[in-house]
Amino acid sequence: MKIRAKANANIALIKYWGKENEELIIPKNNSISLTLDALYTITEVEFNDNNSDVFYLDDKLQGDMEHEKISKYIDIFRKLSGINKYVNVYSFNNVPTAAGLASSASGYAAMALALNSLFQLNLPKEEVSKLARRGSGSASRSIFGGIVEWEKGFDNDSSKAIKLDDANWDIAMIILVLNGNKKSISSREAMRKTMETSPLYYSHVNHISNDIKAIKEGIANKDLQRIGEIAEHNAMRMHATMLSSNPPIMYFEEKSIKAINKVKELREKGYLAYYTMDAGPNVKILCKKSEVDLIMNELVDEFDNIIISGVGQDAVAEEIR
């Protein structure tokens, strides 16, 4: 039997940054994201007759560290199912890996959904989101399409994603890929350092329940201006906690600042356009789907690597053999 799963990436509008429990990946705060159809991972899994798991990413056999990580992750499924078999994993990313474009989110979501079928757990999506979370926090949200909330919860069972809205309305995201290289410091490491050393961290976290409440009102009213303003402020507050870490953590590059200024200029011209950034230099622009073409006209002369994305659907898995 071979299972193929596909999961879309997501970009957080209210960011997850910092863990309550490192082992189980229970976050400090709830987060809310938009699932994107242009960025996704396809993962195929099958049992093998070897004495170890085998992991290929984009047709490349991965090194010892990656194998160790993936095997530890598959152990969760072996334990849950009582099936002590090893697995071949073939993952294909159409997301530049580890460039702050959420490849770990789509990656672990596709993997969790595929392993859920292979190990015959057949758990419902909400349960699979908890398993995806164990690989990478943001992956919990990639199980669902539309606009998704990851409820932080307090233990393994209560920390899960739920769908808030299909986002079947006038909303899109434009991604300015400013540097597709691997990031200098992983989000896992950067979160830990921020929590340990930033004097601003807890004041940021304490403000997040207000952001969540306000953005949910915006989502209920399909009010892109409200959603965008809250998302922009939330993202920059998160980056402020990183900048105030010791030593400072900075994902901004010169081109990131240029892109942010461009988004402000777009707003002055009357477009609804808002920026957000994650653990990488790339800038994502939240905008109206109906204005994407006009906004693209404004961007193409200054930025050469641009991805336009609509709203992604739920992750899916099927048996292919």
Pick 46 or 165: Cβ nearer ligand PMV? 165
Report residue 75 as tokens. 């152990």
Q: List own/partner pairs for 165-168 with CB under 8 A and 24 or more apart.
A: 165/219, 165/220, 166/311, 167/34, 167/35, 167/311, 168/311
For residue 134, what is the DSSP state? H
Residue 221 has a CB neighbour count (10 Å cut-off) of 10
- Shortest Å, Cβ 48 to ligand PMV: 28
Cβ neighbours of residue 158 closer than 8 Å, sequence gap 6 or more? 151
For residue 213, what is the DSSP state? H
Cβ neighbours of residue 23 closer than 8 Å, sequence gap 6 or more? none
- Does the footprint of ligand PMV cover residue 136 (CB under 6 A)? yes
Pick the piece of the chain touching ligand PMV (CB under 6 A) from 134-142, 175-183, 211-219, 255-263: 134-142
- Does the footprint of ligand PMV cover residue 129 (CB under 6 A)? no
> Which residue in 8, 104, 117, 234 binds ligand PMV (CB under 6 A)?
104
- Does the footprint of ligand PMV cover residue 137 (CB under 6 A)? yes
> Which residue in 35, 187, 198, 282 binds ligand PMV (CB under 6 A)?
187
- Shortest Å, Cβ 177 to ligand PMV: 15
Pick 37 or 298: Cβ nearer ligand PMV? 37
Report angle CA 147, 149, 151 to the nearest 5 degrees.
170
| Buried/exposed code over 163-185 (b: 16+ C-beta within 10 A; e: otherwise) | bbbebeeebbbbbbbbbbeebee
Pick 78 or 207: Cβ nearer ligand PMV? 207
Pick 132 or 287: Cβ nearer ligand PMV? 132
Q: Measure the CA–CA gap between 287 and 291, rounded to whole angstroms.
A: 7
297 touches 31 (CB < 8 A) = no
Contact set for ligand PMV, span 45-74 (CB under 6 A)? none
- Shortest Å, Cβ 78 to ligand PMV: 23
Residue 244 has a CB neighbour count (10 Å cut-off) of 16
Q: Using alpha carbons, select from 84, 98, 63, 129 the residue that is nearest to residue 251.
A: 98
Pick 16 or 40: Cβ nearer ligand PMV? 16
- Shortest Å, Cβ 13 to ligand PMV: 9
Pick the piece of the chain touching ligand PMV (CB under 6 A) from 52-60, 136-144, 171-179, 197-205: 136-144
> Which residue in 93, 117, 138, 282 binds ligand PMV (CB under 6 A)?
138
- Does the footprint of ligand PMV cover residue 31 (CB under 6 A)? yes
Pick 54 or 162: Cβ nearer ligand PMV? 162
- Does the footprint of ligand PMV cover residue 188 (CB under 6 A)? yes
Task: Give the side-chain half-sphere CA count within 13 A for 26.
Answer: 11
Report angle CA 83, 115, 159 to the nearest 5 degrees.
105
From residue 9 to residue 28, what is the string marking binding to ligand PMV with x (rule CB under 6 A)?
---x--xxx-----------
User: 15 phi and psi, to 5 degrees?
Assistant: -85, 150
- Does the footprint of ligand PMV cover residue 278 (CB under 6 A)? yes
Number of residues that bind ligand PMV (CB under 6 A): 13
- Does the footprint of ligand PMV cover residue 7 (CB under 6 A)? no
Interface residues with ligand PMV (CB under 6 A)? 12, 15-17, 31, 104, 136-138, 187-188, 278-279
